Amino acid sequence: MIWSMAIGMAISNAAAGGTEVTIYNQGFALIKENRQFVLKQGRQSVTVEDVASMIEPSSVGIRSLTDPNSFEVLEQNYQFDLINPIAILNKSVGQKVRLIRTIGQQKDVLEGTLMSSPTAIVGSAGGDSQQTYNGMVIRTDDGRIVLDPTGEVEVRSIPDGLISKPTLLWDLFAQKAGTNQVELSYLTQGINWNADYVFTLDGDGKGDLKGWVTVNNQSGATYKEAQLKLLAGEVQRAQPKFRGAPGGAGGARMEAMADLGFKEESFFEYHLYTLQRPATIRNREMKQLSLLEGKGIKVEKKLVIDALNDYGIYYPNEGEVGTGNIKPVVRVEFVNSKENDLGIPLPKGKIKVYQRDKSGSVQMLGEDEIDHTPRDERLSLVVGKSFDVVATRKRTNYKRISDRSFEQTFEIEVRNRKETPETVHILERHYGDWKISANSMPFAKLDAMTLEFKVDLKAGQTQKVAYTVRTTW
């Protein structure tokens, strides 16, 4: 059967304002484009170019905006064998070629048949990387065999099956002829987004938070003047058993910027951020867009000693004591609330924390990463370890009471070498059925395994915390 070809092929680029890109922070995106086809009645072949080279062909969806029942796609093929020198030579094996090479000051022209094309194969055997190189072989018209020649190789034509850009080829049946507006949708890998934050402290208990969105497009396509949407959340996707080689501001301020920046909305169990202006997302480009801004956020600094969690001190046997100096972890905490000029869901990302010195210059204090954080939740950022506040933790006594119980005494000495007062939070962790039988200062039981001592230190002061715990299992 001879197919009748379409009167007009699909327009390569989506219509202006007709592209929508929803990017998920798991490395893929949903692309929706409005395309225009000029169809004739009956069966025909239609090509759609300028799709992403990392498209998931099984995800392609198509529907007519002009008439939903005007055509049916019978078959779809995704062609991605792109034109390049190696691909041309691979498909030209057995065909006539011309080799032009320079010998000394003269050019030598050889004509013959390409017997083998140059191909580099990189593999792995037994964990050792291996590389095999097959050189080009030409049999000249006079019978000579030329191995791995250097020079320019000319072919008579581009072999069939090679294309200049990734293309969808449809076998389509149209009920009637005419122009048809079509919505094309598909998933593509190779495009990702993440949030980055800059938190600048003023040194007096407040700070300013600036959030940015970084979009990284390696999908193999450019999306011009697209409506950009970002979905924050953990979207479940079925994973193949075997993987092949990879393919090629808050509060009123946010409302005032709603016509230019991102607008947030709850969507199913996720959050969707829609940019309120068109954006061009070019292939092989990283783009940063303003996400949010909060001013005058109330900040609390905490010095935390959590030896068993942050330092991994453990007791593998009864004779192990575990002594040594411990530097408290420095945390910066704030609440994601409207009172703090925020109060919007914060996508996961890295936060760099800065503070101005006495001269007014900004200095970096540290960096941490947050998970997706709902509104009104408290964030606790680890920015480093204290320099001038140190502690020593040791076990001063151990006594086995029975085969299923023992008693231990711990002492933590905290030293403030600063010229200003500090408060240190000491977290101690125990497992099983435990009970404090003696303690030198009050404590709070935070959960089944954690107790907290809050130690207020004057400038230059040293304090000791001691307690005895009996554990039964």
- As a whole number, mean pLDDT of residues 384-406 equals 93
**Does 257 score more than 50 pLDDT?**
no
Per-residue pLDDT tens over the stretch 299-354: 999 999 988 775 544 444 433 344 567 889 999 999 999 999 999 999 999 999 99
Distance of alpha carbon 13 from alpha carbon 19, whole angstroms:
10
* DSSP secondary structure letter of residue 459: T
CATH number corresponding to 300-337+377-472? 2.60.40
**Does 403 score more than 50 pLDDT?**
yes
Distance of alpha carbon 209 from alpha carbon 197, whole angstroms:
7
Contact assessment for residue 155 and residue 88, using Cβ atoms and an 8 Å cutoff: yes
Per-residue pLDDT tens over the stretch 64-110: 999 988 999 899 888 765 666 777 777 778 888 888 888 878 888 88
**Does 469 score more than 90 pLDDT?**
yes
- Find the angle CA(29)-CA(31)-CA(32) to the nearest 5 degrees: 155
| Domains 4-81+163-189 and 300-337+377-472 agree in fold | yes
Report pLDDT for 69.
Answer: 86
Domain ranges of the chain: 4-81+163-189, 85-155, 300-337+377-472
| Lowest-confidence segment of 21-30, 219-228, 259-268, 378-387 by average pLDDT | 259-268
Reported pTM: 0.71
Per-residue pLDDT tens over the stretch 409-428: 999 999 999 999 999 999 99
For the chain, how big is the Rg over CA atoms in Å?
A: 33
For residue 83, give the 3-state DSSP assignment. Answer: coil
| Lowest-confidence segment of 24-33, 43-52, 189-198, 338-347 by average pLDDT | 43-52
Distance of alpha carbon 395 from alpha carbon 76, whole angstroms:
71
Class for domain 4-81+163-189, per CATH?
mainly beta
